[in-house]
Amino acid sequence: MAAIIPCHYCVSLSPKWFNSNTTHSRRLSYPLRGLRGFNARCSNQPSNHSEVQNNHNGEPFSFKKCAISIALAVGLITGVPTFGLPTYAQVANPVLSDLSVLISGPPIKDPGALLRYALPIDNKAIREVQKPLEDITESLKIAGVKALDSVERNVRQASRVLKQGKTLIVSGLAESKKEHGVELLSKLEAGIDELELIVQDRNRDAVAPKQKELLQYVGGVEEDMVDGFPFDVPEEYQNMPLLKGRAAVDMKVKIKDNPNLEECVFHIVLDGYNAPVTSGNFVDLVQRHFYDGMEIQRADGFVVQTGDPEGPAEGFIDPSTEKTRTIPLEITVSGEKAPVYGATLEELGLYKAQTKLPFNAFGTMAMARDEFEDNSASSQIFWLLKESELTPSNANILDGRYAVFGYVTQNEDYLADLKVGDVIESIQVVSGLDNLVNPSYKIAG
């Protein structure tokens, strides 16, 4: 089973489960998370979200699904040997890296932070600057101006390690990007000084916007450290559409029957460094306008999903072959330079391994697939919305079982307002299209 949920929570993230042409009796309700605030990219008036309680009454009891749930739980504890896996799916036990130590603590749920930490770089100096700036988010959870005492410590630490490690940071910049990286470092230094003044003035409201600005500089510096693509994609997938780097898309959705929200644009960052095949497949479909005009096909407070085309096919039919184009399951483990293909982490025996792109953030984007076929994903995509008993951050049962390839970084909370029948008016690539290689849409054109 693709997603193991205890008896009364049985949920599958397979294409068949999400088929919009099929009626399903097992629908679950989860509390919807409230909106963080109005964003100009969405046509919206303030809305009040009521809490919907879990309702399991009347659902048939499944001994089979319960048994699978128990079997997985036992496997997670005792470990189960694997046999017959392809050679490219074998992975050494990941070692504890310096990065693992740096980001230890509460689960990281911010999509921007997850993307920064997922970059394929090995520069401890810039990570030591990044961490206290990221930690400001936790500091601001303290009530009132008392939070500023903790923020002040964060800022001073970031300032100190930046001064101490600047030479190492500059030496880590890719030669072709060094000038831009040095410019961003100068802006980062000046911005940290400005944040210190904000804290001294006890202006709590100005802290978060300044933190966001500084982390954008940090992320830019880290991206300037990436020199080329970090690994070779397995030969059998090298001719597929591949995203060798990152790209961003804007997804415009028309909202039906909601007086508080007419339409919204979701900004999504796709990570080809850690999921080149999955991201490349999606960008190629976007360029074919595959998703334009398609309806949202599931929205239950747990996930939002689309991508099931009309007709009997459950994925994209490649006109050149007249067959469904499928892609392999693709998971990158923390501490490894390249993804594993064609197997879940459980099948590889990596029960405690952390994924580089975890299901931590509200709006985590991943591929749906047949629950018993690892390499069956095609065009159906979903966004995870709600943490539940089995999907807490850093201990998510979906991690290592489904291929995450991006995060919604703007207006993600508005995903909770989407419902079945809302229409994707368009998805457009707004940056990073030049990172797409082997684009089949050009051949088709």
Domain boundary assignment for the chain: 111-225, 235-437
Check residue 396 and give its pLDDT: 75
Out of 1.10.580.10, 1.20.120.290, 3.30.930.10, 1.10.150.120, the CATH code matching 111-225 is 1.20.120.290
Superfamily of domain 235-437: Cyclophilin-like (2.40.100.10)
Positions of the chain with pLDDT under 50: 1-11, 16-40, 45-98, 100-102, 445
Q: Smallest Cα–Cα separation from 399: which of 237, 295, 265, 274?
A: 274
Check residue 205 and give its pLDDT: 96
Check residue 7 and give its pLDDT: 32
Check residue 106 and give its pLDDT: 73
- C-alpha 370/C-alpha 17 separation (Å) is 9
Collapsed DSSP state (helix, strand, coil) of residue 258: coil
Check residue 274 and give its pLDDT: 98
Angle separating helix axes 124-139 and 147-171, nearest 10 degrees: 160
User: Could you report the per-residue pLDDT of 412-440, keeping only the tens digit for each?
Assistant: 999 999 999 999 999 999 999 999 999 99
CB 53 within 8 A of CB 325: no
- Element (H or E) spanning 318, and its range? strand 317-318
Check residue 387 and give its pLDDT: 63
Do 111-225 and 235-437 show the same overall fold? no
